Amino acid sequence: MAADRANMAIALLHYPVYNKRREVVTTALTNLDLHDIARSSRTFGLERFYIVTPSAEQRSLAERITGHWQEGWGADYNPDRREALGIVRICTDLKMAVDDLQAGFAKPVKTIITGAAQRPDSLSFPAFRQMLAEADQPYLLLLGTGWGLTDECFIAADHVLEPIAGAGSYNHLSVRSAAAIMLARLRGTQQEAL
């Protein structure tokens, strides 16, 4: 019998997000976001990492990045990168990512959105981790770029995950770092605290 598919995936959305002036924009994807989050996702057993952007040019760039490391000297130089990039899927919009994840499950995909701000009725990390234990229920974790996903995105999502709490007033993790922490908390198997 085939191994159970990992019931969590990550989508990194480049639109619709705010810029520093709270305008709704499409951000540019970065080579390093793609590599880092693919590696973190793979390390914690995910089978899908969706890069979502409405920009055709950006999707081409993403395909070149994932293709480059898949073939040619790039792939030979660092097979670890190739294996991580194998889980990347490039999507035009969130629906495309949801549909792809849905294909592996009977139960409807639920979206869990993330951000840096405190919001009412958000799910704690331990609570979400418990929900993930239901292996046939798929979850798509939504990460935003720029200054974060729009308020409409938060309203539309099925759940909101609590933000990662820092140690004081400064709380500006990069999306790469935030993704890694979320993955370790939700899919890690090590004891984290006594």
The site for a second copy (CB under 8 A) is made up of 20, 32, 35-36, 39-40, 42-45, 77-78, 80, 83-84, 124-127, 129-130, 162, 164-168, 170-174, 176-181, 184-185, 187-194
**DSSP letters of 95-162?**
HHHHHHHHTT-SSPPEEEE--SS--TTPBPHHHHHHHHTSTTS-EEEEEE-TT-B-HHHHHHSSEEBP
Query: Residue 179 burial by CB count (10 A; 0-12/13-18/19+): exposed, middle or buried?
Result: buried
Residue number, 80 or 99, with CB nearest to a second copy: 80
Closest distance of CB 48 from a second copy, Å: 14
Closest distance of CB 93 from a second copy, Å: 27
Residue number, 80 or 151, with CB nearest to a second copy: 80
Contact by Cβ (8 Å): 114, 162: no
Closest distance of CB 143 from a second copy, Å: 13
Closest distance of CB 164 from a second copy, Å: 7
